[in-house]
Amino acid sequence: MRRIKKILASKLFITGILIIAQIVVMFVGIYLLSQWLLPVYIILTIMDILVVLYVVNANISPAYKINWLIISAIFPLASGVLYLMFGSRRVPPKFRREHLASVLKFKPLLKNDEVLSEVSKGDESIYKQIKYINDYSYFPLYKYNKSTYYPTGESMFEALLEDMKKAKHYIYIEMFILQQGKLLNAILEVLEEKVKEGVDVRLIYDDMGSAMYLSRDFNKLLKEKGIKYQMFNPMRPILLVTMNNRDHRKLVVIDGNVGYTGGLNFGDEYINEVSLYGLWKDAGIRIEGTAVKNMTVMFLQFWQASTEQIITLPEGEPVVEFTEEKGYVQPFSDSPTDSEDVSKTAHLNMIWSAKHHLYIMTPYFVVDNETLSALKQASKNGIDVRIILPHVPDKVYMLESARSYYKELISAGVKVYEYTPGFIHSKVMMADDRIAIVGTINMDYRSYYLNFECATLLYKTKALKDIRKDFDRTFEESQLIDMADCLKIPLYKVIIRAVLKLFAPIM
């Protein structure tokens, strides 16, 4: 009962109700006006035709086009307005300008052509993947960095706290979800002490992601502790296209020498302090060395975009090169403010570069035909393709959407697993034990096209052995889904999944 009351009183719930009310009023208004005013009917019809023409000719996935053509057929007078509100991937000009200007400001700081040239002498497909990220996300590759993989949120949280306590100059944190509880309280306690020591502590958190989990006086609490903060894209109880774009990144940078990213938000379920969906499995990566510069710049790009102050790269601890570490790391980010789908392309490049096996952990699997075809073709080409998804979902409709792909994947030879102990939130993709991406990128439309995301590419690093061990252990703990499982589901679920698959591109 207390949880229900908390949800009903939350900013997210109230904002959602107000937006739903506006949608209802919009539909009723469109219907009434179109019935009584011929000019309104003509205008709405023209808008619908223009949306159909735009969608058909746009450079977007075929599945997305089909989806909006069906919506246009179902809601012939409202589809133009609906597309402007929910369908367009276009980021508003001001929003776009602010973020692109910030990216371009810091771009000259990110060059490491010597290491890129060194990798060009090796595997051509991997070099192309690394060069793509270098050229289109502007984040270069580094060597002589120490990378540590954490297969659970608990292990990463312990290491993160210890690193924070050692901070001497600055701590930068960017989170999608902040949830008041044991984990966040422990973090805030350390941050407060660091502020007293003169450490520059800054926090960016997504307003929509955190709205249900924070008290109304949370920002006041941050001010009292001396923590500088920004709320990314604050929610407004009105229909706005910008509400679609969220900061899904999870990033912690300490003194420019240590950086973390992965699936871990600052909430108790991520460290299994509370159990809402069985055992919560997450994963993250810690980078120490020169590559952390990419992460520092990622954070400062965001901070600069939301302030008129002139932000520069701060001085931190002298960065150590770990010459015994022979592998390469490439932290990178992806933004909806440009026309380049870095996250999706990085995943596709990984699929295409696999020669022996491709292993994937993802909490959400809602993909377009291009990604689905790449996975199926890899399997048909003899690659051992395996995907691990949750067995206990945090969002039932997302798991049912993912299950709508099972039959097609299994028919092509892809092995699909469900993590039976509970919910898997890890976002990890690995090919041939030599290259992997660990970060915040889900395999769904929102991560690929609408959200700000970040991850780290690892090539020939020691951490890859730990990632492989984690996959092997998780396979053993998971249920392998076979064709019999796909065929014995009741008819009503077949229909529900078919409908969800139809609307997958906008979920």
Residue 120: both structure tokens together: 């060009």
For the CA atoms of 57, 62, 64, 70, the dihedral, rounded to the nearest 10 degrees, stands at 80
- Amino acid making up residue 496: I
430 pairs with which residues across the strands? 359, 436
87 pairs with which residues across the strands? none
- Bridge pairing between strands 279-281 and 422-424: parallel
Q: How far is CA 188 from the centre of its chain?
A: 24
- Tell me the three state secondary structure of residue 443: strand
How many whole angstroms separate alpha carbon 308 and alpha carbon 293? 23
243-263 burial string, b = 16+ CB within 10 Å, else e? bbbbbbbbbbbbbbbbbbbbb
For the CA atoms of 129, 135, 137, 140, the dihedral, rounded to the nearest 10 degrees, stands at 80
Residue 155: both structure tokens together: 């292990």
Q: What is the DSSP letter of 21?
A: H
- Bridge pairing between strands 415-419 and 384-390: parallel
Residues 6 or more apart whose Cβ sits within 8 Å of residue 306: 98, 230, 232
How many whole angstroms separate alpha carbon 503 and alpha carbon 222? 40
Cite the DSSP H helix spans in 197-321: 207-210, 218-225, 292-305
Element (H, E) at 279: strand 279-281
Catalytic residues: 248, 250, 255, 425, 427, 432
Yes or no: say if 394 and 363 are a contact pair by the CB < 8 Å rule.
yes
Residue 174: both structure tokens together: 């960017």
How many whole angstroms separate alpha carbon 21 and alpha carbon 19? 5
| 164 burial via Cβ count (<10 Å: 0-12, 13-18, 19+) | buried
Residue 331: both structure tokens together: 């932290």
Yes or no: say if 506 and 64 are a contact pair by the CB < 8 Å rule.
yes
Query: Closest Cα partner for 431 from 334, 358, 370?
Result: 358
| 435 burial via Cβ count (<10 Å: 0-12, 13-18, 19+) | buried
How many whole angstroms separate alpha carbon 112 and alpha carbon 115? 6
Query: Closest Cα partner for 78 from 116, 115, 40?
Result: 40
